[in-house]
Amino acid sequence: MMIHINEAGPMNFLRTLLIIILAYYVIKFVVKLFAPYLLKKAVDKVQKKAEQQYRNQQQESSVEEGKTVIDKKPKNGKQSNNSVGEYVDFEELD
């Protein structure tokens, strides 16, 4: 039984290099072909989301004339960290 192993020669190297270059240009062509379509889909999706948020905001902020609305200040969940340390002023000695 004889197993045929491809040898690393200059022709195989050139063939591999040619395949890599060809694949690069094919991928580049396909990306240029489909990039505008994918970009347009992404922009449309973001635009629809923004419109939906705007409509939700308009519905929430619509108050009948003559009614009084009191919005309560949300509780501040964050507490400031005032204990960062002590400031020491250094003086340069001669």
**6 Cβ neighbours under 8 A, 6+ residues apart:** 12
pLDDT in tens, 16-56: 999 999 999 999 999 999 999 999 999 999 999 999 998 88
**Contact status, residue 69 vs residue 63, Cβ threshold 8 Å:** yes
Q: What is the pLDDT of residue 16?
A: 92
pLDDT in tens, 63-76: 677 777 777 777 77
Taking the complete model, does pTM exceed 0.75, yes or no? no
Q: What is the pLDDT of residue 45?
A: 96
pLDDT at 2 over 90: no
